[in-house]
Amino acid sequence: MATIILDAGHGPNTAGKRSPDGKLVEFRFNAEVAELLRHYLLLEGVDVFYSHENSRDVPLSERASIANRLDADAFVSIHANAFGNGWNEAQGIETYMYPQVSKRTAALANLIHSSMISACGRKDRGVKTANFAVLRETKMPAVLVECGFMTNREEAGLLLSRAYRVQCARAIGFGILSWLYHEKIV
């Protein structure tokens, strides 16, 4: 049976991670998408664990340690993006992986990203590389998904909506399941 670690990026008390008007707190979006995604994956017979907690900001090294200790098949970190502190025109979905990755990790990133673009209909900002701690310190394929910009009025509205959160969870789930079947893990 496959094991996936879901990571709702940041934490409930992380300063500044919100829309300019304060209506959208990033962790609330991330945590709800992770919860919806967990339910979807459990229905498909996948074991799911969280690296975050709803009551405290879990340090990045601890998140990676949890995933490594559980020897998960993959680690997926869920985020809402931001550009600066005020409203602006930056928009779209992007997916990150560590610069030196295996073909398995690149496949996971590409499958999740293409599923998100197809399902959500937002601007395609591409699959990119970054030296993020949760991507660098995890021993399994790991990706970080940015589901839209909190600093774009239109996307902030989407990020606040239950329908878009469900859409994101299903799209990420489809990408993960496609990868698991391709890897013959399920």
Helix, strand, or coil here: 15? coil
Cα separation, 130 vs 140, in Å, equals 16
Q: Residue 127: which of 150, 107, 104, 154 has the closest Cα?
A: 107
Q: Give the pair of three-digit tokens for residue 8.
A: 């709702």
**Which class for 186: exposed (0-12), middle (13-18), buried (19 or more C-beta within 10 A)?**
middle
> Residues of 43-73 as b/e, b for ≥16 C-beta within 10 angstroms?
eeebebbbbbeeeeebebeebbebbeebebb
Backbone φ, ψ for residue 97 (5° rounding): -140, 160
Q: Is residue 146 annotated as a catalytic residue, yes or no?
A: yes
Options 146, 154, 155, 183, the catalytic residue:
146
How far does Cα 90 stand from its chain's mean position?
19
**Residues annotated catalytic, as ranges:** 146
